[in-house]
Amino acid sequence: MKIHRFIGKYNLKNKGELNISDKESVSQIRNVLKLHVGEQIILGDGELNEAVCKIRSVDRNSVAVEIMELKMNRNETGNYGILYCSILKKENFELVVQKTTELGIKEIIPIIAERTVKLNLNRERLEKIMKESAEQSGRGQLPILGEILSFYKAVEYAKDNDLNIFFDASGGLINKTEVIGKKIGIWVGPEGGWAYGEMKEVLRQTQDKFIIINLGKLILRAETAAIVGSFLINKFE
């Protein structure tokens, strides 16, 4: 039976009673999941500390639990993946945030490339999606949602990464030995693809830090490429 997980600012240092009072978690427990006294949940503090808890009481404004077991979350991936993704139209960027959070991405940096059409985001909604996806997938930490950056500013910041993988049809195949145990930037362009000047900038960078990779013969949508690329770098951890 699935034990539902909640990540928040919980004090999980000692066993004993704990009161959950944040409205979102209380509503989820009481109204959405309809959990009852005696059922178990897992609380996480976002720093890999977790507690298996038994529900003692549920009311409109709070849920009282008893901490039964303290433990560390060991589900986080070994690679530190940073997704640099162009803001996508409609709900596609939300889909990227949801699925790459489930796949273990540590940071998501929205970027504006030359061919990016949509230029703004609902940050509050995206952070809620991140939280729910992290809880659902059993993670012990929430990803970081970075500020929106221009393509060239993002490239400048990304020089500190061990490796940056730009997904483009012009590149070669991914090599397992290139992505083990590293801080890796994964780059996905807008619906219209990377512009010529952007690809020229990537090629200008040192090739031990910036490589161009393709994801096969088929042309993937940007949101699909972000999801597949995030899976691949964590598959090779």
55-107: pLDDT as tens digits: 999 999 999 999 999 999 999 988 899 999 999 999 999 999 999 999 999 99
**pTM value?**
0.90
pLDDT digits (tens, 9 = 90+) for 136-178: 999 999 999 999 999 999 999 999 999 999 999 888 877 665 6
Fold topology of 4-72: Ribosomal Protein L25; Chain P (2.40.240)
CB 86 within 8 A of CB 75: no
d(CA 144, CA 176): 25
Choice between 97 and 215, residue whose per-residue pLDDT is larger: 97
Can you identify the CATH homologous superfamily of domain 80-235? Answer: SPOUT methyltransferase, trefoil knot domain (3.40.1280.10)
pLDDT digits (tens, 9 = 90+) for 10-67: 999 888 899 999 999 999 999 999 999 999 999 999 999 999 999 999 999 999 999 9
CB 38 within 8 A of CB 54: yes
Q: What are the CA-CA distances from residue 168 to residues 173, 174, 181 (Å)? A: 10, 12, 23
pLDDT score of 176: 60
pLDDT score of 208: 75
Domain range annotation of the chain: 4-72, 80-235
Which is nearest to 152 in space by CA: 206, 120, 111, 185?
A: 111
Q: What are the CA-CA distances from residue 63 to residues 1, 3, 16, 44, 132 (Å)? A: 21, 16, 14, 15, 19
pLDDT score of 206: 74
End-to-end CA distance of the chain: 29
DSSP 100: H
